[in-house]
Amino acid sequence: MYSATDLIDLDRYPIDGPGRDDILARMRADLARDGCAVLKGFLTPAGVRAVAAEADGVSDRGHRSFSRTNAYFTADNPALPDSDPRRQFYERSNAFIPADNFAPTGALRTIHDFPAFDPFIRDCLQEPRFYRYADPLADVIVNMAVAGNGFPWHFDTNNFTVTLAIQNAEGGGAFEYAPMIRTAEDERFDDVAEVLAGTSDKVVSLTLEPGDLQLFKGRYSLHRVAPLTGPTPRYVAIFS
Ligand SMILES: O=C(O)CCC(=O)C(=O)O
Ligand SMILES: [Fe+2]
């Protein structure tokens, strides 16, 4: 049996008591500025060890997925010029370890089920209607990727993601994003094309360490996980 208070660094991030408002203010400001907010070292070292061991224990349960996709998840349109960002297709592959592999008494769900967790995330995001995904296969999953797999440049189709870094590969794996590069009104294809070409000055590179919690609004911020190297799998938990 785990206790959330041993797994989450509540001294550093008192999301359940006095000090919560200061953390919230910082998270909201970061999200408003560039759609990304990170709590470095949200987990304790023991918490990182426990979730990494839990992920390793079920790493053979991953459902592998391969696709070839553009940044918009749309079909190719040969009527557009070859240079159009909608015509740049990349290999996307990973494995999702479904939620039913994570026991209620396990480390990952002990963190997720900590009573102050959901209200804290809701208040960071200022989402009045905020519910857990009721799908028992998807409320908390682990995204696993090894060298050769990857998440190339894309915009998310959901408004936000809540992710917990668990384990990094030996090399690569930086989270790269172009904050708010498009809006609901303006696709800014020229700016997107520069990111895809590797010539943009708008890309921020974030190195997430095991135990870091990230809130990310990916609908308007183009992002990718830089290609991985080495034999160790990269594990990221996704809370939905
Ligand atoms: O694995 C990650 O850090 C993010 C993956 C991602 O961008 C996604 O699932 O949409
Ligand atoms: Fe994404």
The phi-psi region of residue 63 (left if phi > 0; otherwise alpha if psi is between -120 and 50; otherwise beta) is: beta
Q: Which of 224, 238, 239, 240 should be mutated for ligand 1, with most atoms under 8 A from CB? A: 238
So what's the ipTM on this one? 0.96
Mean pLDDT score, 106-127: 97
Domains observed in the chain:
4-239 (2.60.120.620)
> Which of 48-73 are b and which e, b meaning 16 or more Cβ less than 10 Å from the residue's Cβ?
bebbbebbeebbeebeeeeeebbbee
| Atom 5 (ligand 1) nearest CA | 151
Reported as a single tens digit per residue, the pLDDT across 51-89 is 999 999 999 999 999 999 999 999 999 999 999 999 999
Q: Which of 142, 151, 238 should be mutated for ligand 1, with most atoms under 8 A from CB? A: 151
pLDDT of residue 1: 83
Query: Which band of pLDDT confidence, cut at 50, 70 and 90, is reported for residue 128?
Result: confident
pLDDT of residue 59: 96
Q: Does the pLDDT of residue 149 top 90, yes or no?
A: no
| Atom 1 (ligand 1) nearest CA | 236
Ligand nearest to the CA of 94: 1
Whole-number mean pLDDT of the chain? 96
pTM higher than 0.90 for the full model? Answer: yes
Pocket of ligand 1 (CB under 6 A): 143, 151, 156, 163, 175, 223, 225, 236
Q: Kindly list the strands in the beta sheet with 63-69, ordered across the sheet, starting from the edge strand earlier in the chain.
A: 36-39, 213-216, 161-167, 234-239, 140-145, 90-97, 63-69
Reported as a single tens digit per residue, the pLDDT across 172-183 is 999 999 999 999
- Strands of 108-219 (E only): list them: 140-145, 161-167, 175-178, 204-206, 213-216
pLDDT of residue 168: 97
Mean pLDDT score, 154-178: 96
Query: Which band of pLDDT confidence, cut at 50, 70 and 90, is reported for residue 195?
Result: very high
> Cα of 60 to ligand 2 centre, how many Å?
23
* Residue 178 to residue 215: CA distance in whole angstroms: 15
pLDDT of residue 228: 95
